[in-house]
Structures are given as C-alpha cells and as structure tokens.
Amino acid sequence: MNNSANEIERVVRGYEINGDKFLTEIRLAKISLEELRKIFNITSDDNVLDCYKIGENEYCELRDYIEGDLDFEYAEYFLEVK
C-alpha cells in the first residue's frame, strides 16, 4: 500500500445540479484507503485519486467523516483530491 496516498487530503465538493457552478467544499476527515475503496467499490490497487460521485448510499458511509450535512436537492457532490 502506498502510504503517501493515505496522506493525501480529500474533500467533498458540491456543484450546481443543473450546471457545473462550484458551490461548496467540505474537508473529509482522515479515512483509510481501504474504507474509501469499500465505499466506492474500487479495486484494491487504486489510490482513490480520481473524482467519485457521492450518492445517498455513499453519503451514509461517509457521514462520520464529513462535517455537516449534504443536501442532495441542492447540489451534486463528489469526492475529490484537494
């Protein structure tokens, strides 16, 4: 496992549903690569460096790592590298 990939800061970014206007950025608390891979159903050799859409199922798994709530009627959310 690549330890530096574990140290990369990841954020949740929200964008306008009917457009691409940036709305918000929320820091994701430290979470292991293994946990991210499980949540997003990613292969074990992926360092989770891409952009991943967060649906309500993923949000339920990430809720403990996100400060505040996500409003899916207001925005689309993605896990991204800062």
More confidently predicted of 41 and 2: 41
Convert the pLDDT of each residue in 51-65 to its tens digit. Answer: 999 999 999 999 999
Cα separation, 45 vs 18, in Å, equals 34
More confidently predicted of 78 and 8: 78
Instruction: Say which residue the tokens 């330890």 belong to.
Output: 3
Domain borders along the chain are 3-81
Out of 3.10.50.20, 3.40.50.720, 3.40.1010.10, 3.40.50.1820, which CATH number does the structure's domain 3-81 have?
A: 3.10.50.20
Cα separation, 28 vs 64, in Å, equals 9
Residues in the chain: 82
**Among candidate residues 12, 19, 18, the one with its CA nearest the CA of residue 54:** 12
Pairing of strands 75-81, 52-54: antiparallel
Kindly report the average pLDDT of the chain as a whole number: 91
